[in-house]
Amino acid sequence: MKRSNAIAAIDIGATKVTALVADVNEYRQPRLLGVGVAPAAGLSRGVIDNIQSARNAVATAVEKAEQSCGMRILSGVVGIGGGHLSSQNNRGIVAIADRTEPITSDDRARAIEVAGQISIPSNRQILHVIPRGYWIEGTDPVSDPVGMYGARLDAETHIVTAAVSAVRNLTKCVEDAGVQIDEVVLSSLAAATGALTAEERAQGVAAVDIGGSTTSICVYDEGAVAHTATLSLGGTHLTQDLARLLRCPWESAERLKCEHGSAIPTAELGSVDVEVRAFGANSQKRVSTSHVAEILQARTEEILEMVAIELKRAGYLDRLAAGLVLTGGTSQLPNIEELVEQQLDLPARVGGPRGCTGLTDLIAAPAYSTVVGLAKYALRETTAAQRPAGARKDAPETGFLKRIAAFGRAFIPQ
């Protein structure tokens, strides 16, 4: 790229591929410079199942982003999702060599490294080790131990693992499209980074990204990432229900969902008959908007029930003072916040990208929260590590401990 502080982010979703170019303005806010969107292909349930088709979709989105900003994209941050991802929290303890000296950033990094060491099968790899909190000699938690005194430092991390094959397929797909990967980032973390406020993260919140084929969850508790998960239902299942029950083509069902859909049949919506293309000798049929809403409500309630089960299993369902922030394309379904509050008895809002400037009219919708979050992460990390744009994550001057520390700063509210 021509600008030394510009970065690129690529979100490969089930329905679209988005490439974004951004830098930082004078107020240290992300400034969007260019965007490219292309229909997705070659993906199934969040993972690549046809590398050639996916490569072509990525190449198209990247080319459009390059034309939009007038710069060449050589490398970027890429999001990853899918049911192969898993996570857990782990704690590590290190001794401080000289308790008469204050704890240093190296001590903090050592504690994070120890807390990030877990045993995993050979077909899986650690994707992220995210700091959650620190304790000095087992006392009350502290936000940053550097400069404090103690003989023992505890650190807790949130560890995300992924299938090696899924990461390799994603890497090959993007690199075959002519873009080197600086970092593979969990999509649910990126969506949360793009849509949540600092106050929501501090009070406890779950970012629920309802994408095309999956729904991802990222829980923040006391300002730190506490739990992440991926569910195997998404917006395409709503379209599929309409297509099957109304016996109409997929394109007609998708248009019906977007133009006349609702998560709840409401009095304001009423019951208006709309025409839809159908199969059979009579290629047109009329359906009521209330019936469409009833079909969509049933599947949306199933998704929300799965979200509630996952949150309860992780122990956070009753700890979310800020409730749920819905993002992703399906979160734009009218009245979905009301359905969440009725079914889960939690506050809810639909959240789009926040805290960025430039091109906001083009990517203000919740469907772009993930790619904006990827850009915000990359810009924060680049600033923290003071790396030149395009430098690879595995450059000699960027060691494991610096990478972990930079990643932690990128996802801890500032």
- Tens-digit pLDDT string for the chain (414 aa): 445 578 999 999 989 999 999 998 777 778 899 999 999 988 877 788 899 999 999 999 999 999 999 999 999 999 999 999 999 999 999 999 898 999 999 999 999 999 999 999 999 999 999 999 999 987 888 989 999 999 999 999 999 999 999 999 999 999 999 999 999 999 999 999 999 999 999 999 999 999 999 999 999 999 999 999 999 999 999 999 999 999 999 999 999 999 999 999 876 666 788 989 888 767 888 999 999 999 999 999 999 999 999 999 999 999 999 999 999 999 999 999 999 999 999 999 999 998 888 777 788 899 999 999 999 988 877 655 544 333 333 333 334 444 444 444 334 433
Residues shown for the chain: 414
CA distance 378 to 389: 10
95, exposed or middle or buried, with CB in 10 Å at 0-12, 13-18, 19+?
exposed
- Give backbone dihedrals phi and psi of 340, rounded to 5 degrees, phi first: -60, -45
pLDDT, position 4: 53
Boundary residue ending a domain (163, 184, 217): 163
pLDDT computed for residue 396 by the predictor = 32
Residue 278 has what pLDDT?
Answer: 86
Which pLDDT score is estimated for 108?
96
Cα 276–Cα 277–Cα 278 angle in degrees, nearest 5: 110
Give ∠ CA 128-396-178 in degrees, rounded to 5: 70
Cα 102 to Cα 131, 140, 151, 233: the distances in Å are 20, 18, 10, 49
pLDDT of residue 96: 93
Give residue-wise pLDDT tens across range 107-156.
999 999 999 999 999 999 999 999 999 999 878 889 899 999 999 999 99
Residue 154 lies in a domain: yes
Task: Report the CATH number that the domain containing residue 109 is assigned in CATH.
Answer: 3.30.1490.110
Cα 316 to Cα 340: distance, rounded to the nearest angstrom: 16
> Is residue 176, in this structure, part of any structural domain at all?
no
* 171-182 pLDDT tens trace: 999 999 999 999
Q: Which domain holds residue 143?
A: 86-163
| Per-residue pLDDT, 269 | 62
Please check whether residue 287 lies inside any domain of the structure.
yes
Read off the pTM.
0.88
> Is 181 within the bounds of a domain?
no
Residue 377 in domain? no
How many domains does the chain contain in total?
2
pLDDT in the model for residue 26: 77
Among 281, 296, 311, the domain boundary falls at 296
**Does the residue 261 lie in any domain?**
yes
Is there a domain that residue 144 lies in? yes
pLDDT of residue 382: 64
What is the reported pLDDT for 267? 65
Domain boundary among 249, 266, 296: 296
| CATH code: domain of residue 268 | 3.90.640.10
Within a domain: residue 91?
A: yes
Cα separation, 317 vs 339, in Å, equals: 17
Neighbours of 133 (CB within 10 A): 20
How far is Cα 81 from Cα 302, in angstroms, rounded to an integer? Answer: 20
Question: Which pLDDT value is given to residue 397?
Answer: 34
